[in-house]
Chains A and B, each alone.
Chain A
Amino acid sequence: MKLADAFASVTRRRPAFIPYVMAGDPDMETTAAVLRALASAGATAIELGIPYGDPLADGPTIAAAGVRALAAGATVEAVLALVARIAPEISASIVLFTYFNPLERYGLERFARDAAQAGAAGAIVPDIPLEESEELRAIFAHHGVDVPMLVAPSTPPERAAKIAAASRGFLYVVSRLGVTGAGSEPDFAPLRSQLSTLRAATDLPIALGFGVSRAEHVRAVAGEVDAVIVGSALIDALAGLRGTDAAAATTRFVDELFSGS
């Protein structure tokens, strides 16, 4: 499903839910089961990580998940095949999350085309800033694949407005300095000081991520952001689980995350 349609169909008052999972960790069948469980639990979009050995924007949890997925043989081709299989079954949009080098190696044009064909709605590339992403954004737009851009707490207002204007699908606002991971607390102060700039620059849904891991975080930003992105905490919750066990743990995790929302 296109991101715009997925967000348009959000009816609940709580923030939309965008989970992150690493494709192929620990195997593709588990990922398939987790994707289905996430969609059933009400995910609006799902970030599906393509594993990379040198993930500069990720903390230890996602980095380790990538190592496991690579060891299990996950490749871009295999992840796209999974998307092609699952996307038609589920209501949530699938947004690929990939570092630039493996993407470029696969070929920007080829990746955009294959991702679109598989039914992916978007692709996030966390290690290229606005200046280096022009060509990529043009190619992906041509194939109808949204590229959500990231704004960091350190991004000055003028630049944040430019990024917001260039973003497609949604705008990814990073909650704190640093990398992904559930370890340290998210900080909502930078978000709050940026929100009016961002809202003025774009009508896109604003999604908050990096460190969002518990129900109280979700409650704290409900009404301010349109979506919350939760990755490391979910991966931690699924540690060591496979297949239906992982799917059941996924459902429990989502219930808990939105309890009281």
Chain B
Amino acid sequence: MPIEPNARGYFGAFGGRFVPEVLVAALDELEGAMRAAFADSTFWNEYREVLRDFVGRPSALYPARRFLGENVPTPLLFKREDTNHTGAHKINNTVGQALLAMRMGKRRLIAETGAGQHGVATATVGAKFGLPVDVYMGALDVERQALNVYIMQLLGATVHPVTGGTQTLKDATNEAFRVWAARVEESFYVIGSVVGAHPYPYMVREFQKVIGEETRAQCLERYGRLPSDVIACVGGGSNALGIFSAFVDDADVRLWGVEAAGEGIASGKTAAALGAGSVGVLHGSRSYLLQSERGQVLETHSISAGLDYPGVGPEHAYLKDSGRASYVAVTDDEALGAFHDCARREGIVPALESAHALAFAKKLALERGSDALIVVNLSGRGDKDIAQIRALGERSEGTR
């Protein structure tokens, strides 16, 4: 069974509700509606139906035979979240939250976005269900991710550039919380990862755990056993918890979260909250975060916009401190190498976020033998990253 937070939303010492009083009633209302929906099989039936017919689930568990190269015999599987509608795992969560919003009688959706993937996934369900969507996006990101801004607009969403602070995802999230505070009566805040105040981290994980449930069943059916290792990239941590949650009770399955080291943890230009951060409070919950000695949240760096976030979901903080999951970090260059390897050897252009998980799989496979079975959560496809990769210039081969 996946880990349950306590009544106040804590996973061990992490989580909780560190929000202005004005949001407490909204979070209480959300939690009540969520619990009622989760106990109602008609809610889950509808969720599964939308995932099947609209998202295209289940996604495949694909044997990646060439990615590691001929000399590495370790069996490797990709969980293909990149084949979901809109190209990433994010839509599993937005479908769930949109259904819950409608059940609560909310008429508008609010979302924050960094790279635009969660914004697109929210705009998509908004269009499908006929709910107007307001997306808050850092002004810098609006510039950097012009294509996704345009896609959101095509889908009928309004994109609001956020000019405060560092003008990135952290500030977009602040703004989404503020706007929600002012419009709690009619609006539902669709948060994009396992972050935020209780019940968001728990709720988002419940909407992503389908990844792990499918993976587990597919693995048992096809290979007659569980994986030896499960690897996922960690930004806020939703795709990782989505796949981890089905395996937390399987002590023999090693869980690996891969953060963005950026230019290297020692460089200070990093986004590895668990690897380089310390415990604090950001966006409503207690977890690890990248902060100064004075408790100011630091600017982060990663080549991958989806991992470029100073915080991380509280359940990951708990899994780290309890030792149940291990967290490692991969640099921009290592991720780029894995990106190119995956494109050339598997015919799959991965998201730069997912390329972090792939880069660690290359390292881990060298330590594991042919009797291991490594699963990588391929959280998204790389179409959104093509312009950036192209701008970085041609690179002939991967890192090997």
Chains A and B come from one and the same complex = yes
Chain A residues within CB distance 8 Å of chain B: 52-57, 59-60, 63-64, 67, 70, 75-76, 100-106, 126-132, 149-156, 159, 163, 174, 176-179
Tell me whether B24 and A129 are in contact (CB under 8 A): yes
Tell me whether B183 and A177 are in contact (CB under 8 A): yes
Tell me whether B297 and A53 are in contact (CB under 8 A): yes
Shortest Cβ distance from residue A93 to the other chain B in the assembled complex, whole angstroms: 22
Q: Can you pick out 17 interface pairs between chain A and chain B where the beta carbons lie within 8 Å of each other?
A: A54-B297, A56-B19, A60-B164, A70-B296, A101-B280, A101-B295, A101-B297, A127-B20, A128-B18, A129-B20, A129-B24, A131-B8, A150-B21, A152-B20, A155-B25, A177-B182, A178-B183
For residue B184, which residues in chain A have a CB less than 8 angstroms away from its CB?
154, 177
Tell me whether A56 and B174 are in contact (CB under 8 A): yes
Tell me whether B178 and A178 are in contact (CB under 8 A): yes
Tell me whether B165 and A67 are in contact (CB under 8 A): yes
Which residue from A104, A152, A163 sits with its C-beta under 8 Å from B295?
A104
Tell me whether A56 and B294 are in contact (CB under 8 A): no
Tell me whether A104 and B281 are in contact (CB under 8 A): yes
Please judge, given known A-B contacts A54-B165, A154-B184, whether A101 and B21 are in contact too, CB under 8 Å. Answer: no
Which residue from B24, B177, B283, B293 sits with its C-beta under 8 Å from A155?
B24
Which residue from B20, B165, B291, B295 sits with its C-beta under 8 Å from A150?
B20
Shortest Cβ distance from residue A148 to the other chain B in the assembled complex, whole angstroms: 12
Tell me whether A177 and B295 are in contact (CB under 8 A): no
Please judge, given known A-B contacts A63-B164, A177-B181, whether A102 and B296 are in contact too, CB under 8 Å. Answer: yes
Tell me whether A177 and B165 are in contact (CB under 8 A): no
- The complex places the Cα of A153 from the Cα of B22 at a distance, in Å, of 7
Of all chain B residues, which has the CB nearest A106? B295
Shortest Cβ distance from residue A68 to the other chain B in the assembled complex, whole angstroms: 12
Chain B residues within CB distance 8 Å of chain A: 8, 16-22, 24-26, 164-166, 170-171, 174, 177-178, 181-185, 280-284, 291, 293-297
Of all chain B residues, which has the CB nearest A176? B182
Tell me whether B291 and A179 are in contact (CB under 8 A): no
Shortest Cβ distance from residue A57 to the other chain B in the assembled complex, whole angstroms: 4
Tell me whether B281 and A100 are in contact (CB under 8 A): yes
Of all chain A residues, which has the CB nearest B278? A105
Please judge, given known A-B contacts A106-B295, A132-B16, whether A54 and B174 are in contact too, CB under 8 Å. Answer: yes
Which residue from A75, A101, A154 sits with its C-beta under 8 Å from B22?
A154
For residue A100, which residues in chain B have a CB less than 8 angstroms away from its CB?
18, 281
- The complex places the Cα of A29 from the Cα of B4 at a distance, in Å, of 51
Shortest Cβ distance from residue B196 to the other chain A in the assembled complex, whole angstroms: 11
For residue B181, which residues in chain A have a CB less than 8 angstroms away from its CB?
177-179
Tell me whether B177 and A56 are in contact (CB under 8 A): yes
Tell me whether A179 and B17 are in contact (CB under 8 A): no
For residue A174, which residues in chain B have a CB less than 8 angstroms away from its CB?
21-22
For residue A75, which residues in chain B have a CB less than 8 angstroms away from its CB?
294
Tell me whether A101 and B8 are in contact (CB under 8 A): no
Tell me whether A105 and B22 are in contact (CB under 8 A): no
Which residue from A52, A64, A126, A179 sits with its C-beta under 8 Å from B296?
A52
Shortest Cβ distance from residue A103 to the other chain B in the assembled complex, whole angstroms: 7
Please judge, given known A-B contacts A52-B296, A64-B164, whether A155 and B21 are in contact too, CB under 8 Å. Answer: yes
Shortest Cβ distance from residue B281 to the other chain A in the assembled complex, whole angstroms: 5
Shortest Cβ distance from residue A130 to the other chain B in the assembled complex, whole angstroms: 8
Tell me whether B164 and A156 are in contact (CB under 8 A): no
Which residue from A132, A152, A156 sits with its C-beta under 8 Å from B17?
A132
Which residue from B20, B183, B294, B296 sits with its C-beta under 8 Å from A57?
B20
13 additional A-B pairs beyond A105-B294, A127-B281, A177-B184, beta carbons within 8 Å, are: A52-B296, A56-B19, A67-B164, A70-B296, A101-B281, A104-B281, A105-B291, A128-B19, A129-B24, A132-B16, A132-B18, A155-B21, A155-B24
Tell me whether B291 and A56 are in contact (CB under 8 A): no
For residue A55, which residues in chain B have a CB less than 8 angstroms away from its CB?
174
- Residue from A59, A130, A131, A149 having most chain B Cβ neighbours under 10 A: A131
